[in-house]
């Protein structure tokens, strides 16, 4: 019996059904998808502007604003349950965001002030939408807004520096376990990306307390404690990677890693966000996620550049500091290459 070499024929013999070549539905190029998304947003903005002219009285009535907001969110929920094109999905997303804004306006007007209960309501709303909405991009936005609502709640109660480590731990857990549930992998990735983007926004807001009218200065939890909690997350991540890859941790390696982690946390106590950027960068390398790695680099660069800009030193002193740091890093690189555990003749790609 002659064995065929045609892969398609061998798959048919194995009982695997193949879709005919002329019936395939190729995915549209990415630039067409981007244009469709932009078109959906413009269409939604123009339509909402047109309808807003006829509903100006809604802005003066909290009950009407709440009803209209709930209607927009409910309509978005119903439409997103069915497969939609990129254009329709972005159109529905814009209307859902408008509905969330109306709901937030109604809650704020009833409370007559933006306080802790206001952010609790928004946190509950966005958490619910993160779970219910059948759209990855909507889930990403909902997770982003939920994390920011939690951050502003922390500002109100004096715990702003505790929120970032908590969000980072949740996001890191989702990134590390995205393959445990293949059926929900896309949804988990969307939520994890929303939480990661929220971390960058929180880092920006925390570094400039004036943006929050001095509320950060009244926090009773010191910012350095948040940095050490984030450092603990980095330590757990390093342990998880070593355990997953069956890496033997010698006492010397543990001592060196612990010392490096302590130095990083001490440095981050002055340059806020170094530990967060290091966690995102290490997490991106651990799961081979290039976008996450890039976001970690952005977080590190923002932390370092902000600290450098806010230093009360002359330009000459700053230049001397950078020179000294460069020499220290070169010395560390040489030390790591000559570490007793390294193999001789190992190719160096650094």
Cβ atoms 287, 175 nearer than 8 A: yes
Q: What's the pLDDT tens digit per position in 130-145?
A: 998 888 888 888 999 9
Cα distance between residue 51 and residue 56, in whole Å: 9
- CA distances from residue 75 to 32, 107, 213, 308, 349 in whole angstroms, order as listed: 26, 20, 37, 48, 54
171-213 confidence digits (pLDDT tens): 888 888 877 777 788 888 889 999 999 999 988 887 766 666 5
pTM: 0.76
What was the pLDDT predicted at 56?
59
Report the pLDDT value the prediction gives residue 350, as an integer from 0 to 100. Answer: 42
- pLDDT higher than threshold 80 for residue 277: yes
Q: Which two tokens stand for residue 26?
A: 């190729």
Residue 150, pLDDT score = 93
List C-alpha distances in Å: 229 to 81, 152, 322. 39, 19, 28
pLDDT at 197: 92
Rg (CA), the chain: 25
Burial of 23 (0-12, 13-18, 19+ CB in 10 A): exposed
The ranges assigned to domains in the chain are 44-113
The set of residues, in sequence order, having a beta carbon less than 8 Å from that of 258 and lying 6+ positions away, is 235
Q: What element of type H or E holds 14?
A: none
Res. 284: pLDDT tops 60? yes
Distance in angstroms (rounded) separating the CA atoms of residues 15 and 38: 43
Phi, psi values for residue 17, rounded to 5° = -75, 140
Of residues 24 and 256, the one with the higher pLDDT is 256
Q: Please report which confidence band the pLDDT of residue 337 belongs to, taking 50, 70 and 90 as the band edges.
A: confident
d(CA 199, CA 138): 18
Between 148 and 41, where is the model more confident?
Answer: 148
**What is residue 24's predicted lDDT score, i.e. its pLDDT?**
42
Angle made by CA atoms 69, 71, 72, in degrees to the nearest 5: 65
Higher pLDDT pick, 277 / 35: 277
Average per-residue pLDDT in the chain?
78
Q: Give CA–CA dist 217/228, Å, rounded.
A: 19
Closest CA to 195 of 138, 147, 250, 127: 147
- Residue 100 has, within 13 A of its CA and on its CB side, a CA count of 25
Q: Is 206 helix (H, G, I), strand (E, B) or coil?
A: helix
């Amino acid at each position: 019996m002659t064995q065929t070499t045609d892969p398609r024929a061998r798959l048919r013999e194995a009982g695997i059904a193949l879709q005919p070549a002329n019936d395939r539905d190729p995915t549209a190029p990415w630039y067409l998808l981007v244009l469709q998304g932009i078109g959906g947003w413009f269409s939604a903005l123009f339509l909402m502007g047109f309808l807003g002219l006829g509903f100006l009285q809604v802005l003066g009535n909290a009950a009407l604003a709440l009803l209209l907001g709930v209607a927009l969110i409910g309509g978005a929920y119903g439409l997103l349950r069915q497969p939609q094109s990129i254009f329709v999905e972005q159109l529905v997303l814009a209307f859902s965001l408008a509905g969330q804004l109306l709901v937030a306006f109604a809650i704020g007007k009833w409370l007559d002030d933006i306080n802790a209960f206001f952010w609790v309501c928004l946190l509950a709303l966005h958490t619910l939408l993160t779970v219910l909405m059948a759209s990855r991009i909507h889930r990403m936005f909902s997770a982003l807004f939920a994390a920011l609502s939690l951050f502003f709640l922390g500002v109100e109660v004096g715990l702003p520096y505790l929120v970032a480590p908590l969000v980072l731990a949740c996001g890191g857990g989702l990134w590390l376990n995205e393959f445990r549930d293949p059926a929900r992998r896309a949804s988990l990735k969307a939520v994890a990306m929303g939480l990661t983007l929220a971390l960058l926004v929180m880092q920006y807001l925390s570094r400039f307390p004036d943006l929050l009218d001095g509320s950060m200065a009244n926090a009773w939890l010191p910012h350095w404690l948040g940095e050490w909690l984030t450092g603990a997350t980095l330590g757990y991540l390093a342990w998880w990677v070593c355990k997953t890859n069956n890496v033997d941790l010698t006492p010397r390696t543990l001592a060196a890693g612990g010392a490096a982690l302590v130095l990083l946390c001490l440095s981050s106590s002055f340059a806020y966000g170094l530990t967060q950027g290091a966690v995102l960068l290490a997490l991106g390398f651990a799961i081979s996620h290039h976008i996450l790695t890039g976001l970690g680099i952005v977080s590190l660069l923002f932390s370092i550049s902000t600290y450098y800009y806010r230093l009360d030193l002359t330009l000459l002193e700053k230049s001397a500091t950078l020179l000294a740091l460069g020499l220290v890093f070169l010395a560390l690189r040489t030390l790591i290459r000559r570490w007793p555990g390294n193999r001789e003749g190992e190719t160096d790609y650094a």
